[in-house]
Structure 1
Amino acid sequence: MANANETGPSGARKNIFKTLEFDTRLLGMIGAFVLVCIVFNVLTDGRFLTPRNIFNLTIQTVSVAIMATGMVFVIVTRHIDLSVGALLATCSAVMAMTQTQILPSLGLDYGSALMAPVAILVGLLTGGLIGAFHGWLVGYLTIPAFIVTLGGFLVWRNVAWYLTSGQTIGPLDDNFQMLGGIGGTMGETASWIVGLLAVAATCLAIIQARRARIAHEFPVKPVWAEGMLMAIAGVLILGFVATLNAYQVPTRVLARSFEERGEVMPEGFTQGYGIPLSVLLLIAVAVVMTLVAQRTRLGRYIFATGGNPDAAELSGINTRLLTVKVFTIMGVLCALAALVASARLSFHSNDIGTLDELRVIAAAVIGGTALAGGLGTIYGAILGALIMQSLQSGMAMVGVDAPFQNIVVGSVLVLAVLIDILYRRRTGDT
């Protein structure tokens, strides 16, 4: 006789999920995100899920999400980084000073094609060097990461203040600002092209993964299940592109752009913003970090060290050098986040990156990164950042005071850790 649990509706659902090999933790996070969106959409009378707010939500999430991908590697190796917000501020200050003072003094005028690339390169080098220094203190001098980065939290926030003498620095270079959000978007046509390419790449990845499993004689999902996954991915990607394209550029802005070109705007002409360049940068970071985690020796060493540091060292992994590499990656990602954050504001301010330490760690933990080390995903951290930003954005739209917003964020972090502990006890995953 068939098991009763497998013949009813619930059994059928379990079989479908098992066949599709859905990650139950991922489904839980998606469910939480959908619930947050629905609740705030009701509380704001439908304003939360408008194309404009979704567009703003995506560009507000980017800087935290970029750093959260690096925090996954840090936490997986059983460390923590409390300095990411302060390091972001220092990198932002360095890039702002490079654009407004250093390069002009060398004869490179504002608006030069070289100004933004040089400033970005200087910022990335700054973040990488500071991150490597943190990693050296942790890996080779064996100072606990908590202490090193707590010190960094105090040091680099005030280094940023001294670099700028406590002043707001700007405006930043126009090309630099394009990577901040609404000032730099792809437009409707290019966004559709990118969306279709993303769908094609996703389908190709699923097909290649299936072929690899067959080649290694591993079990594979039915063809219909693979097709369903492709369809779901395609709908989500193209739906996201359609939503961003639906956010229209204001008529007065379009008219002004036509006037600057000496043209007359056609009657009834409209244009959507499309995908922001900052979101494209986040996607690129996510792809690279995922490939590093899943397809490289460095990624295997990171997760092996997090799973069992002693065994990893005995097997020949240079865990000290690995720690330096992980914190260097974190520093570079902080610089990228500083680029996005300051470009979105169009200037450097002293409070940039404040409390980002909380948001980044919360995003990684909510995304399923185990504080005990050894487990974590890049896509989970990005989804965690999106959930955190959705909570803050929704509360701001409802009119919740900023202090209470931070109370909610802190409470959600503790709840996420509790749920993670209960989940691992239930599944026997350590």
Structure 2
Amino acid sequence: MGTEVDSSLSGASQRVSAPRRRAFADLFRATEIDARLVGMLGALVLIWIGVDLLSGGAFLTPRNLWNLSVQTASVAVMAAGMVLVIVARHIDLSVGSVLGFVGMIMGVTQAEFLPKYLGFEHPLIWVIALAVGIAVGAAIGLLHGAIVAYLGVPAFIVTLGGLLVWRGCAWWVTSGRTVAPMDDAFRRMGGGIEGAIGAGWTWVVALLALAAIAFSTLHARRRRRQVGFALRPVWAEVAVAGLAGLAVLAIVLVANSYDLPPRVAERIAAERGLVVPPQGLSIAHGLALPVLIAVGVGIVVTFLARRTRFGRYVFALGGNPEATELSGVDTKRVTVLVFVLMGVLCAIAAAISTARLNAATNAQGMLDELYVIAAAVIGGTSLGGGLGTVAGAMLGALVMQSLQSGMVLMGLDTPLQNIVVGLVLVVAVWLDRLYRSRTLKGSAG
């Protein structure tokens, strides 16, 4: 008798919990938030908490989180471009070597070539060096894209060859020498003391970001109403915008909680004529320039992917190449432009990396291709093409860098770190295939 009562109670509880689960699923669906993005955020939080516990509280500190954001920037920039490359059903294995080669070109340009004609610390040195680097990166991307599109060589082979060629060219430029130091203005792009905007300007950026969130929310709702699409509930709009705003404020608070070293703060106070109080002077770093550069790149590439004809062609090419070509789209030109964009972003990442190191080295960018591809795949970009988001890839870059930084804090050696990265990449691809198969079954059903 007792067994029958227990079974009836458990069955009743299951019947009650099922509608609750459905109600929660309906509420979540109303927000139109990508479930994979939420899962990735959850994984990132678990990684941060776990690493912080294992490292004795050394991970979740303003200093480490600030450095983590700077270290993530170059990979995040390249991951934004890798999304479009993979969406178009290609791959680029040469991004790390291209970064190293372009970084060496920019280093030689500003440290050895231009000073002969302009002198050291000329205000145009960093501009010319950056322009030369972007031009070289675009030319490399143009070469890769032309070989893939017009000669029919698979991108895997072309960029695998590029991985070796550009790494060798980087060594050949200086015969293996390290080039240093970089121009002072150029070095600001790498973060550090000179490459932070301070607390005041950080709050200005935060206010602009909050205004942009509010504007984009209202603008998107207005566009939906104009074209007759279904509108999200008002509470869902407010909730999504509110979460985005809280994320912005959290980032600002962390950036402004990391103070400059006391001696540096005193030097800055002396330069500005400030009085140092008896208890000492606290000057916050604020947001780092490489982080702002990465965010800017993410916004631009997202705009290209979502709001331009080029972006629509890229996703169409990845979804159905034959139909796209039959519809009159110049798919070869689209392929070339995708690789040119990838080359330009490699150059921007090279500038960030070279500036952060204050040197151009032959080991620069080594294995970055694995981190970039893993970031894109973890962020929801399908290796089958036609599916991917820039925001997801950049968040994936943060996940990968968090793993690497956490393993360093825990004292794990480099071989074990490589093993973990390799396993994460394999698991990410497996989860991508699992997600795609379930999505196809759901749509078929």
Q: TM-score scaled by structure 1?
A: 0.97
Q: Is the 8 A contact 2:318 2:385 kept in 1?
A: yes
Match of 2:334 in 1: 322
Counting only pairs closer than 5 Å after superposition, residues 244-393 of structure 1 correspond to structure 2 as: 244-260=255-271, 265-267=276-278, 268-393=280-405
Q: Establish whether residue 70 from structure 1 lines up as the match of residue 95 from structure 2.
A: no
**Residue 380 of structure 1: SS of its match in structure 2?**
helix
Amino acid at match of 1:78: R
Q: Is the 8 A contact 1:48 1:394 kept in 2?
A: yes
Q: Is the 8 A contact 2:121 2:183 kept in 1?
A: yes
Q: Distance in 2 between matches of 1:204 and 1:172?
A: 40
Q: Name which of 423, 428, 440 aligns with 1:411.
A: 423
Q: CA deviation at 1:105?
A: 2.0
In the alignment, structure 2 segments of 5+ residues that lack a partner are 1-13
Higher mean C-alpha displacement, 282-291 vs 42-51 = 42-51
- The alignment's C-alpha RMSD in Å is 1.5
Q: Distance in 1 between matches of 2:92 and 2:436?
A: 24
Q: Establish whether residue 154 from structure 1 lines up as the match of residue 194 from structure 2.
A: no
Match of 2:127 in 1: 117
**Residue 409 of structure 2: SS of its match in structure 1?**
helix
In the alignment, structure 1 segments of 5+ residues that lack a partner are none
Q: Establish whether residue 49 from structure 1 lines up as the match of residue 54 from structure 2.
A: no
Amino acid at match of 2:181: P
Q: Is the 8 A contact 1:6 1:12 kept in 2?
A: no
**Residue 257 of structure 1: SS of its match in structure 2?**
helix
Q: Is the 8 A contact 1:195 1:241 kept in 2?
A: yes
**Residue 266 of structure 2: SS of its match in structure 1?**
helix
Q: Is the 8 A contact 1:181 1:278 kept in 2?
A: yes
Q: Distance in 2 between matches of 1:293 and 1:249?
A: 38
Amino acid at match of 1:147: I
Q: Distance in 1 between matches of 2:303 and 2:272?
A: 43
Q: Distance in 1 between matches of 2:239 and 2:274?
A: 48
Amino acid at match of 1:85: G
Q: Name which of 93, 98, 108 aligns with 2:104.
A: 93
Higher mean C-alpha displacement, 182-191 vs 293-302 = 182-191
Q: Establish whether residue 427 from structure 1 lines up as the match of residue 439 from structure 2.
A: yes
Match of 2:175 in 1: 165
Q: Name which of 141, 145, 157 aligns with 2:155.
A: 145
Amino acid at match of 2:97: A
- 1:341-362 per-residue CA deviation (whole Å, 9 max, x = no partner) reads 0100011111000000110111
Q: CA deviation at 1:11?
A: 2.5
Q: 1:5 to 1:214 in 2, by over 3 A?
A: farther
Match of 1:174 in 2: 184
Q: CA deviation at 1:259?
A: 4.0
Higher mean C-alpha displacement, 72-81 vs 4-13 = 4-13
Amino acid at match of 1:48: F
Amino acid at match of 1:114: L
Q: CA deviation at 1:4?
A: 5.2
Q: Distance in 2 between matches of 1:355 and 1:65?
A: 14
Amino acid at match of 1:217: G
Q: Is the 8 A contact 2:266 2:281 kept in 1?
A: no
Q: CA deviation at 1:139?
A: 0.4
Higher mean C-alpha displacement, 253-262 vs 91-100 = 253-262
Q: Is the 8 A contact 2:178 2:360 kept in 1?
A: yes
Q: Distance in 2 between matches of 1:299 and 1:321?
A: 13
**Residue 112 of structure 2: SS of its match in structure 1?**
helix
Q: Is the 8 A contact 1:306 1:374 kept in 2?
A: yes
- 1:4-56 per-residue CA deviation (whole Å, 9 max, x = no partner) reads 58864323321220111121111111111111011001111221111001000
Q: Establish whether residue 191 from structure 1 lines up as the match of residue 202 from structure 2.
A: yes
Match of 2:40 in 1: 29
Q: Distance in 2 between matches of 1:314 and 1:185?
A: 50
Amino acid at match of 1:158: G
Q: Distance in 1 between matches of 2:215 and 2:408?
A: 40
Q: Distance in 1 between matches of 2:115 and 2:241?
A: 51
Q: Distance in 2 between matches of 1:71 and 1:308?
A: 19
Alignment: residue pair count? 427
Q: Is the 8 A contact 1:196 1:238 kept in 2?
A: no
Match of 2:407 in 1: 395
Match of 1:84 in 2: 95
Q: Distance in 2 between matches of 1:418 and 1:127?
A: 32
Amino acid at match of 1:337: A
Match of 2:245 in 1: 234
- 1:238-288 per-residue CA deviation (whole Å, 9 max, x = no partner) reads 111111110011111111233456765333321110000111101110000
Larger Rg belongs to: 2
- 1:214-235 per-residue CA deviation (whole Å, 9 max, x = no partner) reads 1111111111211111111111
Q: TM-score scaled by structure 2?
A: 0.93
Q: Is the 8 A contact 1:255 1:264 kept in 2?
A: no
Q: Is the 8 A contact 1:81 1:146 kept in 2?
A: yes
- 1:146-167 per-residue CA deviation (whole Å, 9 max, x = no partner) reads 1111110000001011112211
Q: Is the 8 A contact 2:260 2:285 kept in 1?
A: yes
